[in-house]
């Protein structure tokens, strides 16, 4: 009795197949070929229906999503559309159609029916993964657009979620193929954890490094970092589980493992950019043979230089008063206190920087002498520009040193040139 009921149900559900078989027999096709031609015919009908239904469903869902995105102005809806979420979602109806048609199409091929049905289950796993991946990618795109998350290593966390999702999909897939309980497979994976840790060593290290980098705020997307060991000198453009991409200033790309940011030292220039000033530390070398005391008749000429006119006046009076009180013999310049061309030049540079419109006034600024070398007496300028823009920084530094180089002759000072160099010697001889 049970067999009769099963047979009745099978006949009622396979009405289409019965009709097509009867139709083919009426055309005079032999019974040996009917079931194969019927199979091809039904597959063709289902394929056509799948494409038509999938296209119509996708168009409708796309239109609904685009309309909702315009009305709500939600970025997540726009990103779902870009990440083909309607395309994957629209496949639900065609898949249900195929799944329901398998018993009808393969009614006379029971073994093939079981195989195709298992393939459909496998496809369902991949389909669910693609659908979830689309949502994850759209969410990640949305997070990247938020000001407080733009510089975070979102790709690292997204990759972790994708890896976990793929592992779950692999367990379910293996369970379908082998017919075993997923818990048995998970237990087996636990036993093989040592091998898995070896295989995914870089991924695990990258994930831990990403957490440390993010928690300690060591590196953000867009930071300028320098790692001479790896030839990296540029902006961080991407942080993932396996790589950190740095676009160097010569437009090349340097790729380093994320855990090197934790294990090795590197220089992050974000502090300079946040401070709003960039340091300039450079020296000019003054010939020591040109450093001398300033004669009284030269003070009037130097007093015409605006940046030091007040300094010359007050300092000269202070020195004269001291020399009178100490009864210094000024028949020799070395006696008593005196102004030197090097000291006046150094004070001029200091006032020049203090009045420069592009020098940061709230940061350290000094002009100092360093230990003499074979090249002369180094006069170092240490100050910060009021911009961190590289092009503007180079223009400012060039303008400053152009000026102080040209100003040296007004103080009867000479700057060092390496005339022992054959190229420099030929230039000097032409002069």
pLDDT in tens, 127-181: 888 888 888 888 888 877 777 766 666 776 777 777 778 777 877 777 777 777 7
pLDDT number for residue 296: 83
Same-domain status, 221 and 128: no
What is the tally of structural domains in the chain? Answer: 3
Does residue 166 lie within any of the structural domains?
A: no
Residue 167 belongs to some domain of the structure = no
What pLDDT is attached to residue 189? 61
Shared domain check, 219 and 255:
yes
Burial 319-343 (b: 16+ CB within 10 A, else e): eeeebeeeebeeeeeeebebbebbb
pLDDT at position 150 = 67
Domain shared by 245 and 322, yes or no: no
Q: What is the CATH number of the domain that holds 225?
A: 2.30.30.60
Domain that holds residue 29: 2-145
Of 228, 246, 270, which closes a domain?
270
Q: Classify residue 255: in a domain, yes or no.
A: yes
Residue 171 lies in a domain: no
The Cα–Cα gap between 83 and 246 comes to: 26
pLDDT of residue 288: 92
Nearest residue to 169 via CA among 89, 161, 99: 161
User: Which stretches of 85-218 are DSSP H helices?
Assistant: 85-89, 92-105, 110-144, 154-178, 182-191, 193-199, 201-215
Same-domain status, 211 and 306? no
Residues 181 and 219 placed together within one structural domain of the fold: yes
Give dist(CA 197, CA 349) in Å, integer. Answer: 62
**170 domain residue, yes or no:** no
Please tell me the pTM assigned to this model. Answer: 0.55
What is the rounded distance in angstroms from the CA atom of residue 132 to the CA atom of residue 57? Answer: 19
Considering 270, 286, 305, which residue would you say is the last residue of a domain?
Answer: 270
The residue ranges of the chain whose pLDDT is under 50 are 1-13, 423-431
Q: Are 223 and 332 members of one domain?
A: no
> b/e string for 27-45 if b means 16 or more Cβ within 10 A?
eeeeeeebeeebbebbeee
């Amino acid at each position: 009795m049970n067999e009769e009921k099963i047979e009745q149900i099978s006949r009622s559900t396979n009405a289409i197949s019965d009709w097509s078989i009867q139709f083919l027999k009426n055309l005079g096709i032999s019974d040996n070929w009917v079931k194969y031609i019927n199979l091809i015919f039904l597959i063709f009908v289902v394929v056509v229906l799948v494409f038509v239904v999938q296209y119509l469903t996708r168009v409708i869902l796309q239109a609904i999503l685009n309309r909702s995105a315009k009305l709500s102005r939600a970025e997540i809806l726009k990103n779902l559309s870009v990440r083909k979420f309607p395309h994957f979602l629209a496949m639900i109806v065609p898949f249900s159609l195929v799944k329901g048609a398998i018993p009808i199409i393969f009614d006379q091929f029971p073994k093939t029916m079981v195989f195709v049905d298992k393939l459909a289950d496998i496809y369902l796993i991949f389909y669910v993964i693609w659908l979830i991946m689309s949502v994850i990618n759209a969410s990640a795109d949305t997070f990247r657009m938020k000001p407080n998350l733009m510089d975070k290593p979102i790709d690292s966390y997204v990759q972790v979620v994708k890896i976990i999702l793929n592992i779950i999909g692999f367990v379910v897939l293996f369970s379908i193929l082998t017919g075993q309980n997923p818990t048995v497979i998970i237990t087996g994976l636990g036993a093989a954890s040592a091998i898995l840790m070896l295989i995914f060593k870089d991924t695990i290290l990258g994930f831990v490094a990403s957490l440390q980098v993010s928690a300690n705020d060591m590196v953000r997307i867009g930071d300028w970092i320098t790692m001479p060991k790896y030839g990296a000198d540029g902006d961080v453009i991407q942080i993932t589980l396996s790589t950190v991409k740095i676009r160097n200033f010569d437009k090349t790309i340097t790729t380093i493992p994320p855990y090197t940011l934790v294990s090795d030292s590197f220089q992050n220039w974000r502090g300079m950019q946040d401070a709003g000033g960039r340091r300039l530390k450079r020296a000019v070398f003054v010939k020591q043979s040109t450093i001398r005391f300033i004669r009284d008749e030269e003070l009037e000429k130097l007093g015409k230089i605006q940046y030091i006119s007040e300094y010359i006046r007050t300092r000269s009076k202070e020195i004269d008063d001291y020399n009178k009180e100490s009864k210094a013999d000024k028949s020799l310049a070395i006696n008593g206190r005196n102004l030197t061309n090097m000291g006046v030049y150094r004070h001029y540079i200091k006032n020049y920087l203090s009045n420069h419109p592009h020098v940061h006034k709230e940061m350290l600024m000094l002009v100092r002498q360093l230990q003499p070398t074979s090249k002369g007496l180094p006069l170092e300028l240490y100050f910060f520009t009021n911009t961190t823009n590289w092009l503007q920084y180079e223009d400012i530094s060039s303008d400053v040193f152009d000026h102080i180089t040209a100003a040296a002759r007004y103080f009867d000072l000479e700057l060092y040139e390496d005339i022992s160099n054959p190229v420099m010697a030929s230039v000097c001889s032409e002069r």
